[in-house]
Amino acid sequence: MIAIIGAGPAGLAAAVTAAKKGEKVILIDSSTRLGGQYWRHLPSNWKQKRLPYFAEAQELFDQVLSSPLITWYSNAHVWQAEKKNEIFYLYVVKNGVEEVITAQKVILATGAYDRSLPFPGWTGPGVMTPGAAQAMLKTHGVLVGKKIVIAGTGPFLLPVATGLASAGAEIVALLEANKQWRWVFNVHGLLLNPSKIREGVYYLKKLRSLGISIQYGSTVTSFEAGIATIGKKEIACDVVAVGWGFVPELSLAGILGAKLSVQKDGTVVVDVDRNQETSIQGLFAAGESTGIGGSVLAIAEGEIAAGKGNRVTRWRAQVFAKGLQRVYPVSSGWLSSLNSEVTLCRCEEVKVSDIQSAIDELGAQDGRSAKLLTRAGMGLCQGRVCGRNVSEVVACHLSREVPDRERIASASRPLAGPISLGELGDGLGKKF
Amino acid sequence: MSANKNFDAIVIGAGIVGASSALALTNAGLRVLVLDRGAVASGTTGAGEGNILVSDKEPGPELTLALRSRDLWFELREDVGDSFELEAKGGVVVSRGDDRQLQEFADKQRFAGVDVRVVGDEELHELEPHLTRGVNSGILYPQDAQCQPMLAAAQFLKIVRQRGGEVRTSANVTNIFSAMGKVTGIETSVGKFSTPIVVNATGTWAGDIAKLAGTFLPIAPRKGFILVTAPMPQIINHKVYDSDYVANVASGEADLQTSTVVEGTRSGTILIGASRERIGFDGSMNIDVLRRLAAQATSLFPILRDVQLLRAYRGFRPYAPDHLPVIGEDSLISGLWHSAGHEGAGIGLAPGSARLIADQIIGAEPFMDPTPFSPGRFQAGAA
Amino acid sequence: MIQPNKSLTFTFNGESFGAIPGQTIAAALLQAERTTLRTTRFNDEPRSIFCGIGICWDCVVTVNGVSNQRSCLIEVSDGMVVKS
C-alpha cells in the first residue's frame, strides 16, 4: 500500500496516478474536504470561471472519490512516523483516537504555508496572512474586513486581491514589495510556460476592471488603531494581509530522517532525486515541500512520485519556479529596519530585544541557544511562524549568516501535529 | 607550550555543573575560563526539567549533598538575582497501593534531616485538587524545588564574566597537558591556555575529556524523555511523583523503566518526565515511551487527558556505575578535577558539587566528606 | 456573497452567536465582527486569526472546556460553548 499525506494538488495527482497503476492508496488529510490549501473550498460558482486549472481540480476530485483503490482518510493527521524494517508506520490521530497506518511507500505532499515577517502591530487583530483572508472567503464566505491593504511579495497576492475585491471588499492598497522590471529574470520561465502569461494577464485585467492598481516597491511598515503606515503615507483600513512567499511544511520529512537542504533564498526543502524519492528509500515527496513552485509543478511531481508523470512538464514548471524566486525575493532589509520592541515570537511573546539581550548578556550565539533562553519558537506553533525569523535576527545581531544546519534544525520539529495526552496515553486503536 | 593566556582555573563545560563550578571558583577569588564545544547549556542542561530534589534520595552522601545544594540554590538567588525561575514549589510523592514502603523511606529521610510530612486523603487533594481520587495518601517534601536550568547556567556565567572570568563557546578541547602528573594547560580549537587547574564538567562526555588528559572515568549516557504540554493556567501545584519513580532511580536494571513526575512550570507548560533507558547514544524517539508517560500522567491527573502535547525531548543523563556522581580531584593527574555523572540530578546537585570542589581547591574545610564521590574509586588499576 | 441560514447557535464568552453548518468558530465570529478571539497570557494583548489554516495557533480558544483549540479549524456545532 502507498500512503499519501496531503490532499492538495500534489497528493491528489499522486493518488490518482498510483490508482491508475493498480496500486492501493490511502490518502491522509487533516481537512474534511479535498483540495489542500490551494484548491480547498472552491466557491460553488467556480465553474463559471474559465480557468483551466480549476477544471483539473474537479477532475482529480472526481477520480479520487470514484476510485475503489483510493481510501480518502479525511479529518486525520499524522502526528508521528517511523520506518522500521522497510515498513513505514504513520501514527495518525482521527476522531480522538490514535491509529497506525503501515505502508511500503509514502509520498509526502504536505504543502506550505505563508511566510510572515514581523513589523510593529503585526500581532494585533486585523493583521493576517493573505492565506488567512483567502481561506476565510473561500471556505466560509466570510470577508475578513471592509477596507483591506494587501502587501508583501509574490504572485499569490493577485488572486487574493481580486477574490476579496470581487466579494465586496475595498482594496485600499495592493503593495508588491518588488519592482515589476524583475520579471526580466523569468522571461525564459514565461516562454516555457505560456499558460502563466495568460494567467498573469487575466489577473491584471481583472484588477484593472475592479479599479485596483498595484504599487510596486513598497510595503506596510506598521499597523496601529486602524491605520496602516506605508512609507510616509498613512491609510485607514481594518485589515492588513501581508505575505512574503511560503514556507514548506517539513515536519514529517524531518522526523523520518529525510535529507533537507537550503535553497539560495534560505528556504528549507526536502531533497528528492529525479523520481521524487528522498534520501530515505521508499519515502517520496512532491509539491511545495520540495520547493515552492505552484500547482502545475506540484501535480507533475505528484504524478512522478507515484511512478508515472511527465518530466518535461516538471522541468518547465521548475524553470518557472526558480525564476519566480528571483522576481520576488525577500530582501533582508526587514532585519535592518526592525524595531527592538517588536514581538518576534507570537506564541511566547518574545521581543526582538529579548533575543538581543540573550545574545549580549547571556551568551546565546546561535538560534538554538537564543530560543532556549527566551522560549522563542517554543510555543504552540513550535516555531512554524517565527523559527526562520529568529535565526535571521540572531545571525544579523552577530553580523553573520544563518548556518544551513540551523535553518534545517528550525524547519524540523519532534511532533508533526497535535495529539492530546489522553489520545496518546490510550494507545493505538484500530490498525490499517 | 606557548600559551597565549593564563588562568587560575579552566572549567570545561558550560552546562549547569560547569557554570556553578565557575561561579564558585570565581567567588573564591580565582580567574576562571569556561570552555564549551557548543553553546551555553546546549547539552544535558538544555534537556532537563530543572529538578532540585531531596525527595528521591536515600540517606547517604548524595542526600547530604542534595540538602546542601538545595540551600545553596537559594543562596545563589541572593547572589545572582531572581533571574532563573527558582521556585520552592515542593514535591508530593503518592502511592496507589501499599504505601508502607514509602513511609519507611520517608522515615529514614526524616532521620537524615529532610523535611517530610505525611499527608492524608483530604489534605492531599487540597494540595493537588486535580489529583485522581484513586490516590489517598502521600508524602509532602516542602524542600523540593525547581528552576529553569538553561537560564540558571546562562545567568551564572554572566556573573562570572562580570567578575572577571571569561567564557568561550564553540571551543573544542583537543588536548589537556600535564607534566610530572600535574595539569599545566589545555589546547583548544580557539587556542592554547595555561592553567594549574582544569575542572571537567562535561557531563555525559566526561569520559572523553578524561581520556584526553590520559586518565579514566566510566561515565555512560542514560536516555530520558520529557513531554511538554501546551501552556495551561496553573492546575498542578507541586512536583507530583508516582512512588515507583523513587524505586526506579535506585535501580540498576538496564531495560526501559518508566514512572511519572508531573509538574507545572512558570511558563504555563506542564512537564511529564522520568522515563529512563540505558541504551547508549541512540537519539531516536521511542514513541512507546511517550505513550506510557502520557498514560501514567493522565491516570494521575485525569484533567490532563484533554491537554495537548506540545513537544517531547530527550536528553542523555550521565551516570557512573555506582550511581553516585564523580566529584573531586583525579587520582592520577593532580590539578584535574571532575564534576560529572550526576545522572538525572545534575541541576539539583550542581551548586553543592561546585562548592565541594572550590573548597578543596582553595584549601578550605569541605562541608562534607568528599570521599564517596572521589574519582579514585574507579581509577585504581586504570593507569 | 452566499448567505445560507445560520442554523447553528453557540456561545462565545457567554454571548450567543449564529453559524452556518460547516463554518469554523473563527469564521462565524469574524462574520459577526468579533475580531478579538483571546488575549495573551503574558501581556494580555488581543489576538485574532492570523494564518487561518491551523499553522500559527494564534486563534486558540477553549471549546467545551478543552483549551488550546484552533478556532480557524474547528467547525461550530450546535450548543457549543466557546471561551477566550
Average pLDDT over residues C47-66: 96
pTM equals: 0.92
The answer to whether the Cα torsion of B322, B326, B328, B334 is positive or negative is positive
CA distance B302 to B176: 53
**pLDDT, position B1:** 40
Q: Which residue has the cell 487575466?
A: A202
As given in the structure block, the three cell numbers for residue A246 are 511560503
Q: Is C35 on the interface with A (CB under 8 A)?
A: yes
Q: Test C50 with A128 for CB contact under 8 angstroms.
A: yes
Residue B69, CA distances (Å) to B53, B114, B367, C32 in order: 9, 13, 11, 57
Name the C residues in 43-72 with CB < 8 Å from any B CB.
65-68
Delimit the CATH 3.30.9.10 region(s) of chain B: 91-142+220-319
CB spacing of B297 vs A382 below 8 angstroms: no
| More confident: B282 or A206 | A206
> How far C66 CA lies from chain B's nearest CA (Å)?
6
For strand C81-83 and strand C60-63, is the pairing parallel, antiparallel, or unpaired?
A: antiparallel
ipTM, two decimals, is: 0.94
What are the tens digits of pLDDT across the range A338-363?
A: 999 999 999 999 999 999 999 999 98
Query: How far is the alpha carbon of B173 from chain C, nearest alpha carbon, in Å?
Result: 41
Whether residue B155 and residue A82 make contact (CB cut-off 8 A), yes or no, is no
Above pLDDT 90, what percent of chain B?
67
Q: What is the pLDDT of residue C16?
A: 97
Q: Identify the three-state secondary structure at position A210.
A: coil
- For residues B256, B259, B265, B267, the Cα torsion angle rounded to the nearest 10 degrees is 50
Q: Is residue B276's pLDDT more than 70?
A: no
Question: Nearest chain A Cα to B291, which residue?
Answer: A425
Residue A415's identity, in one-letter code, is: L
For residue range A262-281, what is the model confidence (pLDDT) as tens digits?
999 999 999 999 999 999 99
A125 touches chain C (CB under 8 A): yes
- Beta carbons of A363 and B167 less than 8 Å apart: yes
Nearest beta carbon to residue A37 from set C43, C53, C56: C53
pLDDT of residue B200 exceeding 80, the answer is yes
Residues 6 or more apart whose CB falls under 8 angstroms from that of B204 comprise: B43, B44, B219, B220, B221, B316, B317, B318
Q: And the C-alpha cell for A184?
A: 526580466
Q: What is the CATH number of domain B5-56+149-218+323-379?
A: 3.50.50.60
Bigger pLDDT: A45 vs A58:
A58
Domain boundaries, chain C: 24-83
pLDDT of residue B3 exceeding 60, the answer is no
Distances (CA, A) of B267 to A79, A241, A421, B127, B228: 24, 30, 19, 20, 11
- The closest alpha carbon to A149, from A232, A236, A209, belongs to A236
Q: How many pairs of residues across A and B have Cβ atoms under 8 Å apart? A: 108
CA distance A174 to A184: 22
Give me the helices (H) in chain C, please.
25-31
Q: What is the pLDDT of residue B43?
A: 84
Phi–psi pair at C39, nearest 5 degrees: -120, 155
Contacts of A368 in chain B (CB under 8 A): 39, 42
Stated as kind and residue range, the H or E segment containing A331 is none
Answer yes or no: are the C-beta atoms of A223 and A229 closer than 8 Å.
Answer: yes
- The answer on pLDDT for B247 being more than 70 is no
Which chain B residues are within 8 Å of A361, Cβ to Cβ? Answer: 158
Assess if CATH 3.30.9.10 describes domain B91-142+220-319: yes
Q: Where in chain B is the domain with CATH 3.50.50.60?
A: 5-56+149-218+323-379
Read off the pLDDT of each residue in C59-83 and give the average, rounded to a whole number: 96
Is the four-CA dihedral A59, A317, A32, A93 of positive or negative sign?
A: positive
CA distances (Å), origin B67, targets B3, B54, B251, B271: 40, 6, 22, 24
pLDDT band with cut points at 50, 70 and 90 for residue B255: very low
Q: Is A134 on the interface with C (CB under 8 A)?
A: yes
Q: Find the angle CA(A398)-CA(A400)-CA(A404) to the nearest 5 degrees.
A: 120
Rounded to an integer, what distance in angstroms lies between the CA atom of residue A140 and that of residue B187?
65
- What are the Cα distances from residue B301, in Å, to B90, B96, B305, B309, B364? 17, 13, 8, 15, 48
